[in-house]
Amino acid sequence: MRNVYIVTALLVVLTLSLLGLRGTKFTSPPMDVFPEWAFPGMKYQPKYKHQGSSEFFADGRADRPLPPGVVPANFGPLGHALITDDHMADGRASDGSFAQGFPAGVEMNHEFLRQGRDSYVIYCAPCHGALGDGNGITKQYGMGATPTYHDGRLRDIAEGDLYNTIANGKGNMLSYADKLTVNERWAVVAYVRALQRAQQGSAADVPAAHKSELGIK
């Protein structure tokens, strides 16, 4: 008789442990069976959290101020400080209007376009689409207002204006200044131009050696 109680109790425990808490969401971390000192791993690393406190520093703050004399790297909005060429830094001509063409500091070559494509695929294609037609994946999730690059206005727009949209955002589009360096932004502008050009190809663009393959005279 006693065995029946024990077996029943075990079965109840087994059932509960297998099924009892299924689907429950826990907010506190799980209990550790093995103590921290026995299995130190990546799970246990001393670290400071943002705006946390620290007993190590005299002012008690974990966030450290910049050491004196430090200047921001050529990255993000503050990076402008290091670039004296307005065209390069802001996409502006000397009269403050958006500059046409690429700044003198930009060296246009295959590698630069490739770099632009890499950034474009990561940061722009989700909305603007791989072809720049505004049909990115976000459209399927209800974001329908992303424009195509292949309309007359954006084909004719100054390079500096494209740069400005990337650097400062426009309307519903956020700035990418914290994601792309000044140089990377220009590389993306170049790639946007390449995408636009790709949609306007004509028979005249086909190299002579390939014309016959396509049946072009």
CB 50 within 8 A of CB 63: yes
Please identify the residue of the shown chain whose CB is closest to the bound ligand HEC: 171
For position 188 contacting ligand HEC by CB under 6 A, the verdict is yes
* Nearest to ligand HEC of 114, 170 (CB atom): 170
- Amino acid symbol at 166: I
Closest C-alpha among 97, 85, 87, 100 to residue 159: 100
For position 88 contacting ligand HEC by CB under 6 A, the verdict is no
Selected from 170, 198, 199, 211, the binder of ligand HEC by CB under 6 A is 170
For position 173 contacting ligand HEC by CB under 6 A, the verdict is yes
What mask of x and - would describe binding to ligand HEC in positions 97 to 116, judged by CB under 6 A?
Answer: --------------------
Selected from 147, 150, 168, 194, the binder of ligand HEC by CB under 6 A is 147
* Nearest to ligand HEC of 61, 170 (CB atom): 170
- Please report, as residue ranges, which positions from 119 to 138 form the binding site for ligand HEC (by CB under 6 A): 123-124, 126-128, 138
Selected from 88, 89, 106, 162, the binder of ligand HEC by CB under 6 A is 162
> Taking contact as CB under 6 A, which single stretch among the options 28-36, 47-55, 139-147, 205-213 is the one that binds ligand HEC?
139-147
Q: How many of the chain's residues bind ligand HEC (CB under 6 A)?
A: 22
Residues in contact with ligand HEC by CB under 6 A are 123-124, 126-128, 138, 145-147, 154, 157, 161-162, 165-166, 170-173, 176, 188, 192
